Amino acid sequence: DTVMTQSPDSLAVSLGERATFNCKSSQSVLYSSNNKNYLAWYQQKPGQPPKLLIYWASTRESGVPDRFSGGGSGTDFTLTISSLQAEDVAVYYCQQYYTTPTFGQGTKVEIK
């Protein structure tokens, strides 16, 4: 299985500041025939199911605020929250779907 490793495990950011965290896959998730990265990001708040934020590494799901952006290619990816809001406190997971779906261990985002 493709192992997904996220960093850091937790992050404390002041309201209005930028939050950036990383996801690394043990093998490339870039499919050369369509030049798409098979990588998604989810947000999970306490007691709730995951919510899809980003797919194809950088495409925002409908209704997701534009302060969320995804980047990267191949094996290294980032999720950025440009201006952290109180409602963004959550655990964020990356998932690859290039092969049997696997998820990272999550990055917990808190307010500093």
Tokens 């990272």 sit on residue = 104
Listed in sequence order, the residues at least 6 apart from 85 whose beta carbon sits closer than 8 Å to its beta carbon are 15, 67
Q: Which of 43, 75, 95, 107 binds other proteins (CB under 8 A)?
A: 95
As beta bridge partners, residue 44 has 91
Residue 101 sits in the site that holds other proteins (CB under 8 A): yes
Q: Which of 38, 68, 77, 92 binds other proteins (CB under 8 A)?
A: 38
* Rounded CA separation 93/76 (Å): 14
* Rounded CA separation 14/99 (Å): 37
Residue 65 sits in the site that holds other proteins (CB under 8 A): no
Q: Which of 30, 40, 84, 90 binds other proteins (CB under 8 A)?
A: 40
Our CB check for other proteins shows the closer of 22 and 105 to be: 105
Residue 106 sits in the site that holds other proteins (CB under 8 A): yes
Cβ atoms of residues 105 and 7 within 8 Å: no
* Rounded CA separation 110/8 (Å): 12
Residue 68 sits in the site that holds other proteins (CB under 8 A): no
Q: Which residues bind other proteins (CB under 8 A)?
A: 38, 40, 48-52, 55, 61, 93, 95, 97-106
